[in-house]
């Protein structure tokens, strides 16, 4: 303001003085008027430059530096900078927010009041088979044509979700999606999609498991009930009674084995993996397996099985001894149960490369067709249902074996073909295997690394 007054006064003084020198009083008055006009023209020119600068977006340096116009330019520039900064901050916040939604494991789609896609994250694109760029502003109903979703989208009750097949669904790998719409704002909707394949599979498995257990228990229970009724209602001879009681004991035993296998499985699932501090001699495990196998062979009336047990004396395996014995013994008993009279069963422990070791059971039984192999470790999966039941099988043996070996860091391998017998092997990692080095004449043995 000071600059404005002083520049005006300067023009007046210069005009007045000039006029006075040229024509005394009259000249001074004319000079004052001329000075005022010059100041006004100069001021208008500066105002014009200021307005032009504003029209150009006020991005360059202001054309007027001092005075009222200069101050106005400075304030405009500061206000613009502040607005730019807050716009940048808002953009950064929006980007961070979108990046967070992008990282979400759930699919997120923002829909406008007409159901058109305004934004979607990559997970939603993958789930629903949409392209976040190409399908912008496309109606979701046109892109997602699953009938269940169309019906859901058409109604006005979005309090629950709808489960539909995912875009990547393949026959062997069905993808199931839970999709739910959440209204917000002025008629907009948020679509959330969640992969529920695992949850649905777990639920199916749980249902199947309960159905299988009920079925397995119901069969012997029905038989037992029948015998009890017979004993109650019919006058049986002592010999008949003894025979019936033996059959009843057999059915009760079957239920006991089933319950015991179920408890073993649940114990294996619910407890932490066994540590590697407890070492069990392999020879002792194989000796116990051999004893059980010969006893089972005798019970099944197949004493003519030919056995070959081959265990190195000095090897040890780390983990829970009883678990390892039950896994090994399960494989050996399967070989005995499924191999016909006269068959050969070969049980072996041998070192593998890199310090690993393998326990294998090879039999000359009927072998297993390739389509069954991937499913053998499923609970209650049986290839030969009647043979399994006849020989006291529960259908849980291989599921237990797989759990045990995995808890010990190893794996179960199955090699079998119809007519060519089967080989079931447990492969243990180097950390669970050691060879004891015996010094001649010494009673003690000390551990050494396993050598293939």
Judged by the rule CB under 6 A, the positions of this chain that interact with ligand ADP are: 334-335, 338, 363, 365-366, 368, 376, 381-384, 388, 393-399, 422
Element (H, E) at 181: strand 176-184
Q: Is 111 or 398 the residue whose CB approaches ligand ADP more closely?
A: 398
360 closest CA partner among 385, 392, 331, 397: 331
Distance CA 212, CA 218 (A): 10
Q: Is 322 or 374 the residue whose CB approaches ligand ADP more closely?
A: 374
Q: Is 108 or 401 the residue whose CB approaches ligand ADP more closely?
A: 401
SS3 label, residue 372: helix
Q: Is 164 or 335 the residue whose CB approaches ligand ADP more closely?
A: 335
User: Measured from the CB of residue 317, what is the shortest distance to ligand ADP in angstroms?
Assistant: 21
Distance CA 177, CA 47 (A): 65
User: Measured from the CB of residue 230, what is the shortest distance to ligand ADP in angstroms?
Assistant: 29
Cβ atoms of 4 and 47 closer than 8 Å: no
User: Measured from the CB of residue 369, what is the shortest distance to ligand ADP in angstroms?
Assistant: 10
Question: In Å, how far are 27, 342, 444 from 441, measured between CA atoms?
Answer: 139, 42, 9
Distance CA 6, CA 298 (A): 125
Radius of gyration, CA atoms only, the chain:
44
| Signed CA dihedral, 134, 139, 143, 144: sign only | positive
Q: Is 309 or 381 the residue whose CB approaches ligand ADP more closely?
A: 381
Cβ atoms of 312 and 283 closer than 8 Å: yes
Q: Is 360 or 435 the residue whose CB approaches ligand ADP more closely?
A: 360
User: Measured from the CB of residue 226, what is the shortest distance to ligand ADP in angstroms?
Assistant: 24
User: Measured from the CB of residue 282, what is the shortest distance to ligand ADP in angstroms?
Assistant: 21
Strand segments (E) across 255-394: 279-281, 306-310, 315-318, 344-351, 357-363
Distance CA 414, CA 170 (A): 27
Give the ranges where 103-175 is alpha helix by DSSP (H). Answer: 122-128, 140-143, 147-154
User: Measured from the CB of residue 387, what is the shortest distance to ligand ADP in angstroms?
Assistant: 7
Q: Is 46 or 362 the residue whose CB approaches ligand ADP more closely?
A: 362
User: Measured from the CB of residue 285, what is the shortest distance to ligand ADP in angstroms?
Assistant: 18
User: Measured from the CB of residue 221, what is the shortest distance to ligand ADP in angstroms?
Assistant: 19
User: Measured from the CB of residue 380, what is the shortest distance to ligand ADP in angstroms?
Assistant: 8
164 closest CA partner among 153, 179, 184, 150: 179
User: Measured from the CB of residue 412, what is the shortest distance to ligand ADP in angstroms?
Assistant: 11
Q: Is 265 or 352 the residue whose CB approaches ligand ADP more closely?
A: 265
Place of tokens 């257990």: 213
Cβ atoms of 410 and 327 closer than 8 Å: no
Distance CA 302, CA 254 (A): 20
- φ, ψ of residue 351 to 5 degrees: the values are -70, 145
Cβ atoms of 389 and 257 closer than 8 Å: no
Q: Is 324 or 335 the residue whose CB approaches ligand ADP more closely?
A: 335
Q: Is 35 or 365 the residue whose CB approaches ligand ADP more closely?
A: 365
141 closest CA partner among 130, 133, 149: 149
- Report the b/e string of 378-394 with b at 16+ CB within 10 A: bbbbbbeeeebbebbbb
- In the DSSP assignment, the letter for residue 354 is G
Q: Is 89 or 390 the residue whose CB approaches ligand ADP more closely?
A: 390
User: Measured from the CB of residue 304, what is the shortest distance to ligand ADP in angstroms?
Assistant: 17
Distance CA 60, CA 298 (A): 102
């Amino acid at each position: 303001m000071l600059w404005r007054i002083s520049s005006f006064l300067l023009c007046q003084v210069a005009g007045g003085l000039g006029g006075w020198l040229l024509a005394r009083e009259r000249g001074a008055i004319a000079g004052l008027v001329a000075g005022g006009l010059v100041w006004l023209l100069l001021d208008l020119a500066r105002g014009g430059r200021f307005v032009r600068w504003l029209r150009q977006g006020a991005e360059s340096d202001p054309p007027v530096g001092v005075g009222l116009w200069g101050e106005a330019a400075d304030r405009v520039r500061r206000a613009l900078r502040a607005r730019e900064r807050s716009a940048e901050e808002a953009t950064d916040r929006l980007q961070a927010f979108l990046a967070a939604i992008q990282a979400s494991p759930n699919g997120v789609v923002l829909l406008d009041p007409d159901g058109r896609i305004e934004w979607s994250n990559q997970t939603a694109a993958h789930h629903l088979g949409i392209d976040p760029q190409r399908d912008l502003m496309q109606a979701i109903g046109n892109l997602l044509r699953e009938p269940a979703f169309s019906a859901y989208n058409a109604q006005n009750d979005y309090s629950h979700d709808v489960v539909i097949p995912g875009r990547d669904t393949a026959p062997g790998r069905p993808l199931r999606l839970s999709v739910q719409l959440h209204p917000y704002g002025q008629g907009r909707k948020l679509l959330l999609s969640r992969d529920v394949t695992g949850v649905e599979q777990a639920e199916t498995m749980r249902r199947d498991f309960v159905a299988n257990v009920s079925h397995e228990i119901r069969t012997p229970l029905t038989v037992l009930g029948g015998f009890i009724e017979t004993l109650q209602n019919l006058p049986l001879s002592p010999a008949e009674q003894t025979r019936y009681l033996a059959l009843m004991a057999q059915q009760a035993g079957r239920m006991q084995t089933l319950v015991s296998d179920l408890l073993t499985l649940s114990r294996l699932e619910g407890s932490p993996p066994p540590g590697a501090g407890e070492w069990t001699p392999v020879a002792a495990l194989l000796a116990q397996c051999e004893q059980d196998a010969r006893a089972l062979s005798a019970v099944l009336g197949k004493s003519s099985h030919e056995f070959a047990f081959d265990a190195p004396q000095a090897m040890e395996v780390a983990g829970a001894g009883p678990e390892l014995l039950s896994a090994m013994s399960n494989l050996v008993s399967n070989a005995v149960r499924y191999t016909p009279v006269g068959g050969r069963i070969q049980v072996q422990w041998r070192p593998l490369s890199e310090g690993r070791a393998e326990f294998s059971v090879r039999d000359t039984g009927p072998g297993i067709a390739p389509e069954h192999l991937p499913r053998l470790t499923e609970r209650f999966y049986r290839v030969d249902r009647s043979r399994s039941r006849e020989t006291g099988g529960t259908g849980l043996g291989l599921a237990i074996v797989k759990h045990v070996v995995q808890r010990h860091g190893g794996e179960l391998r199955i090699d079998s073909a119809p007519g060519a017998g089967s080989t079931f092997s447990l492969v243990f990692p180097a950390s669970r295997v050691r060879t004891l080095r015996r010094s001649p004449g010494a009673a003690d043995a000390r551990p050494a690394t396993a050598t293939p």
